[in-house]
Amino acid sequence: DSGVTQTPKHLITATGQRVTLRCSPRSGDLSVYWYQQSLDQGLQFLIQYYNGEERAKGNILERFSAQQFPDLHSELNLSSLELGDSALYFCASSEGAAVNALPPYEQYFGPGTRLTVT
């Protein structure tokens, strides 16, 4: 158990719909990351938040958005869903954010949310 929780575990929805995935980081961790894992594309970094602020952006579609709240939990919003959005969505957390002269922080991954778009 990594200490990172994600809800829901499974989500089935139709094309065109909007869903919200939720992540609670490990106690004390300030950074939250979102990743998408689909069969044909592997694990893709989407976005990172650090202490409520967006810190890094990856291959996140404009239909997707995220935020980190004052209690440090994070939500990933996916809208206008397409069949190709079906994937496992992982949230990870780490103690801090990258700082010069320090190695990258270890990231702790949650169990994931499996999204199926029909």
Partner 1 sequence: LAKTTQPISMDSYEGQEVNITCSHNNIATNDYITWYQQFPSQGPRFIIQGYKTKVTNEVASLFIPADRKSSTLSLPRVSLSDTAVYYCLVGSYNTDKLIFGTGTRLQVFP
Interaction site with partner 1 (CB under 8 A): 2, 4, 31, 33, 35, 42-45, 48, 55-56, 58, 88, 90, 92, 94, 97-112, 114
User: Are residues 94 and 31 in contact, defined by beta-carbon separation less than 8 angstroms?
Assistant: yes
DSSP string across 42-99: EEEEEEEEETTEEEEE-S--TTEEEEE-TTS-EEEEE-S--GGG-EEEEEEEESS---
**Of residues 61 and 98, the one with the C-beta less far from partner 1:** 98
Residue 86 Cβ, how far from partner 1 at the closest point, in Å? 14
For the CB of residue 112, give the shortest distance to partner 1 in the complex, in Å: 6
Element housing 49 (H / E) = strand 42-50
Nearer to partner 1 (CB atom), residue 3 or residue 16? 3
Nearer to partner 1, 44 or 79 (CB): 44
For the CB of residue 3, give the shortest distance to partner 1 in the complex, in Å.
11
Amino acid (1-letter code) at residue 63: R
